[in-house]
Amino acid sequence: MAGSGYTDLREKLKSMMPYRDGHKGGGGGGLPREPPDPPYDRKRRHQEDSGSEPSDYEEQKEEEEARKVKSGIRQLRLFSAEECAKIEARIEDVVSRAEKGLYKEHTVDRAPLRNKYFFGEGYTYGSQLQRRGPGQERLYPRGEVDAIPEWVHDLVIRKLVEHRVIPEGFVNSAVINDYQPGGCIVSHVDPIHIFERPIVSVSFFSDSALCFGCKFQFKPIRVSEPVLFLPVKRGSVTVLR
């Protein structure tokens, strides 16, 4: 996370909206709103209900949407199998330290089939929010999550800088998402008032995929066909602009 023209994102947030110190609630006018369902999603649901086949027009709309999404994505294969193994051992150590209670309270966020580890900066989201909705996410006060480990700088960030994926000094937050088999995260947009673009992710342990344009239903969990299915290989870097 980085804020253009600001040394601390808390200053950026204060300049953008009414804001109270700390991470509880707050908010007001000028917050980004959740965009309405795109037309292709409404049409798709209607087709599923009616059992009709998609028209050429609807297929063209979906293809156009997929092209737009893909135009903001860049992927690189930067980390060798040996480098991945070295980093994965460090991640396992993070998991072990968290299980022993060696991190600050807000460094670790646990959910079914997925644990999240914040370093540098952390923020409230989802069920943690006092007021729900896009734009309500808040950074935790400085010092409430652990600093970015040195191995992240040495083994991950340095290589991203060397290959000009990001400029020197861009990263002030590193988050590890540890998914168990069958684990996933629902469709979302990383908060635009907190995160500077690009969002950069590096994948370890296994191949996976990113899916765009999915709609989730729960109990039981179900998901619609994605607008774009993006394979993500172990050791690859995905840059989202």
Catalytic residues: 123
Say how far apart CA 10 and CA 16 lie, in whole Å.
10
Q: What is the dihedral of CA 172, 103, 183, 89, to 10 degrees?
A: 80
Q: Using the CB atoms, write b or e for 108-119: b if 16+ within 10 Å.
A: bbeeeeebbbbb
Question: Which residues, including other chains, have CB under 8 Å from residue 15's CB and lie 6 or more apart?
Answer: 6
Long-range contacts of 165-169 (CB under 8 A, 24+ apart): 165/76, 165/78, 165/200, 165/237, 165/239, 166/198, 166/200
Say how far apart CA 60 and CA 114 lie, in whole Å.
36
Residue with tokens 């684990």: 183
Say how far apart CA 230 and CA 43 lie, in whole Å.
23
Question: Which residues, including other chains, have CB under 8 Å from residue 78's CB and lie 6 or more apart?
Answer: 159, 160, 163, 165, 202, 235, 236, 237
**Considering only CA atoms, which of 70, 63, 81 is closest in space to residue 203?**
81
Which residues are bridge partners to 108 per DSSP?
Answer: 117
